[in-house]
Chains A and B, each alone.
Chain A
Amino acid sequence: MNFFTRKRSATSAKERLQLVLVHDRTDLTAGQLESLKDDLLKAISQYIEIDPEAVRIELERDGRSQRLVADIPLKTPSRHRAG
């Protein structure tokens, strides 16, 4: 590892702990969170067209509570206009 590009260790400690604590508190593994996201996207796609690449679904900490935050940009329904 290069000395100049290496992240100082306290920064890694904090980032790693942020993730670990969210999973510990919600009792949700990273794998389970992934399948939750997939299921959520599938459900939404039945009604509206979305770009799976642009979707952001994350567990966030807010003090001692957790929230599931989703940012799901919708696709412009261009083919309807063209038709």
Chain B
Amino acid sequence: MVAVSAQEAAPVVAKAEVRGLNFYYSDFHALKAIDMPVYEKKVTALIGPSGCGKSTFLRSFNRMHDLYPGNRYEGEIRLFPDDVNVLAPGVDPIEVRMRISMVFQKPNPFPKSIYENVAYGLRVRGESRRVTLNEKVEEALRSAALWEEVKERLQEPAFNLSGGQQQRLCIARALATDPEILLFDEPTSALDPIATASIEELIHDLKNKVTIVIVTHNMQQAARVSDYTAYMYLGELIEFGVTDEIFIKPKKKETEDYITGRFG
């Protein structure tokens, strides 16, 4: 909503605003009073040592925690422009997931054809016209930089693709539904360096289209792909800011220690 950075030329607009978010796995208090904006058409990286709650935080955005019993949210994640709290009990998690999509750590294509994988989100939304499906599938595969590699074999099983291709297929699957926010949970941790580079490049290109939040363990990756970075530790948000500032001149000592590798 408001410009925060003097370095950015265009005004940045908040796509979502996290306010006082607490999350509990039954009795375990996994996220503690998190306040943070997510800016529209920017890449926000979540970093921090293993177990600090990055995945937990990311999965709150699309209410994945609702799939398992005993999980509880407090606080708000407001989604703009309509200013709705996606965590409100009255909001259907399915509606939230229709707007906020997710790419997982391990590529998880469905055991269906390449085409059906990408088309699935559209089918869920009731789309069955062949022409529209074809169009959207091609568009999504192009956005995911996979079209050229698979256009001749759309009907082949998705499992025939390499790991990196599978992950780009999963990205295409998420993109086909025009999500407002795309969540990535360590999308390259199961991939080799070449596949990783292609996914990073893709994320870089995608931010013109969609707001991205990405969890990563890799400092270089966070520095390369993100505009904003949030450093988390033990369920708390320690520092949030423009990536360049976080990496060059962090305000908090803990952040600096983590980034320079003295810890974590």
User: Do A and B come together as binding partners?
Assistant: no
Residues of A near any B CB (own CB < 8 A): none
